[in-house]
Amino acid sequence: MAKHIILLMSLVALSFGFLASAFEPSPLQDFCVADPASSARLNGHVCKNPASVGANDFSFSGLHLPGNTSNPNGSRVTPVSVAQLPGLNTLGISMVRIDYAPWGINPPHTHPRATEILTVIEGSLEVGFVTSNPDNKFITKILQKGDVFVFPMGLVHFQRNVGTKNAVAIAGLSSQNPGVITIANAVFGSKPDVNADILAKAFQVDKSVVDQLQTKF
């Protein structure tokens, strides 16, 4: 009887442990290289047979190459997450290179699963994030080459090149698959559209303004 109670309590404690875990769990083996061929659905990817794993599974090439910034944002994110580097599976980490044309922006967005730590390799960037409700405090700074800035998990943030030359940043993210929600695209470019009356009320503007924004995204 007492044994059963202890077992039950351990199970409850264990499930609370899982609920309280806001980060990717610690790996239970050296690695679990993602097997893209598997059709099994689970949280992350199925492990490739360790016997057939090699150095290429842990490497990615090309991050020295500038991304193409000829787009309305004037920026380009080159991700190195589990989709590009299968060895990242279960390791809770990834990175990106971001290129910015002069005055280019990486528009306001959030990573639902990651904190981001960014360093400027070339140029200077204006960066910022906004804290949660109810404060919505705006934290912002101009970064120069070599400066490092952290965007806490889940918060809306952005970068802008404030120099006259191209800028480059490298960032690390605390997830193998950080995810991106670009605010403008998610709110005004969902498929199908969010009802324009709802957005008009939420943004306190005329419905025609929402209609215009919805045609752009």
Ligand X SMILES: *[C@@H]1O[C@H](CO)[C@@H](O)[C@H](O)[C@H]1NC(C)=O
Contacting positions for ligand X (CB under 6 A): 68, 70-73, 77, 107, 182, 185
Instruction: Identify which of residues 115 and 182 has a Cβ nearer to ligand X in the complex.
Output: 182
| Residue among 42, 9, 11, 43 at smallest CA distance from 25 | 43
Tell me how far, at minimum, the Cβ of 5 lies from ligand X, in Å: 52
Tell me how far, at minimum, the Cβ of 67 lies from ligand X, in Å: 9
| CA–CA separation, 161 and 191 (whole Å) | 31
Three-state DSSP state, 96: strand
Instruction: Identify which of residues 100 and 149 has a Cβ nearer to ligand X in the complex.
Output: 100
Instruction: Specify burial of residue 87 (Cβ count, 10 A radius: 0-12, 13-18, 19+).
Output: buried
Instruction: Identify which of residues 35 and 99 has a Cβ nearer to ligand X in the complex.
Output: 99
| CA–CA separation, 127 and 148 (whole Å) | 11
Instruction: Identify which of residues 48 and 76 has a Cβ nearer to ligand X in the complex.
Output: 76
Tell me how far, at minimum, the Cβ of 74 lies from ligand X, in Å: 9
| 210 half-sphere exposure, CB direction, 13 A CA radius | 17
Report the b/e string of 140-164 with b at 16+ CB within 10 A: eeebeeeeebebebbbbbbbbbbbe
Instruction: Identify which of residues 90 and 177 has a Cβ nearer to ligand X in the complex.
Output: 177
Omega within 30 of 0 (cis) for the link into 27: no
| Residue among 69, 88, 90, 86 at smallest CA distance from 78 | 69
Tell me how far, at minimum, the Cβ of 56 lies from ligand X, in Å: 26
Structure tokens at 12: 């409850």
Instruction: Identify which of residues 39 and 70 has a Cβ nearer to ligand X in the complex.
Output: 70
Tell me how far, at minimum, the Cβ of 69 lies from ligand X, in Å: 8
Tell me how far, at minimum, the Cβ of 115 lies from ligand X, in Å: 18
